[in-house]
Amino acid sequence: MPQSVAPYPAARFRRLRQTAALRGLQRENSLSADDLIWPVFVQDGTDTETPIASMPGVARLTIDRLIRAAETAHKAGVNAICLFPYIDPSLKTEDCADAWHPENLVNRAIRALKADLPGLAIMTDVALDPYNINGHDGFVVGGEVLNDETVAALVKMALAQAEAGADILGPSDMMDGRIGAIRRALEAAGHHKTCIISYAAKYASAFYGPFRDAVGASGLLTGDKNTYQMDPANSDEALRLVARDLAEGADMVMVKPGMPYLDICRRVKDRFGAPTFAYQVSGEYAMLRGAADQGWLDHDRAMMESLLAFKRAGCDGILTYFAPAAARLLGDRRG
């Protein structure tokens, strides 16, 4: 407690809570649509969307429908989206070669979005799991996820996405050394303006389940991801990982999942002062949305309170499936 606080009744904290105007004047954190990145799932085909049962209100979209949805979200104030692919099972292989094919689903979606909405920032995922018949973020040989061989593949994937026009690359694989390798390759290829947001502190979490349904990886994963994703018990390790990735050339860093790890967000921001993001992951979204659909929570209030918590914890931005709904509500409040 600050020493300057007078004793009661000279100090009555409720004085500043009496009206909306007074509460607004001393509000410490605020949320805007500029803080939001919308994760979207793209699938092949035409004029089709496929609802994701474990994520009420979220669907996989074909590129034409994705463009229409992005236009609507952009008009509401969403200025950045992140693409995740649902890959045809026939393209999932041991060598994951579709991940860096210049005409793969993600790269076609990037080009289509950039042609239609040049002012929209496009973020991508750099990891092999959507393309891997084993469901892992890296190459699997003899039951082991190989680090260096995976990094070489991620470099090719990152370069293909940069060539397609991605603004922000998001390595989410948690292999050692991948940020430095990707940054060197981008510089050598002339992609000096391409940003990297590193999933620096990505935990081995139970909250990813609905996402794996969304990208078609749920039934494929052999074993678990504990050898490369972080132990949920660890906090100091996250700071070491962030320090390494910033030193290797990351422009921004990510904590994932979000709400269960707000303490990590706060520590990262306080220690490094770098642009810090969190991912309000599929399981977090599904819990809030599912409870709201049952009438157990007020949807809009719970959504906005959860997003504001990230700002209070020091985050500069949030990846959230609520982005379009939150942006519309923020716009309505301004109006």
Which CATH number do you get for residue 320? 3.20.20.70
The reply to whether 44 falls in a domain is yes
- Tell me the pLDDT tens digit for each residue of 219-236: 778 889 999 999 999 999
Nearest Cα residue to 226 out of 114, 107, 145: 145
Please report whether residue 10 resides in a domain.
Answer: no
Number of domains in the chain: 1
SS3 230: strand
Residue 289 sits in which domain range? 31-334
The mean pLDDT value of the chain amounts to 95
Is 149 a domain residue?
yes
Within-domain flag for 3: no
- Per-residue pLDDT tens over the stretch 87-139: 999 999 999 999 999 999 999 999 999 999 999 999 999 999 999 999 899 99
Q: How far apart are CA 45 and CA 152, in angstroms?
A: 30
Let me know if residue 14 belongs to a domain: no
Q: Per the domain annotation, does 139 fall within a domain?
A: yes
What are the two backbone dihedrals, phi and then psi, of residue 93, each rounded to the nearest 5 degrees?
-135, 170
pTM: 0.95
In a domain, 236, yes or no: yes
For residue 269, CA distances in Å to 99, 174, 237, 308, 315 come to: 32, 20, 15, 16, 7
Does residue 1 fall inside a structural domain? no
46-60, 266-280, 320-334: which range is least confident on average?
320-334
Average pLDDT, integer, range 237-249: 98
Please give the positions annotated as active site.
202, 256
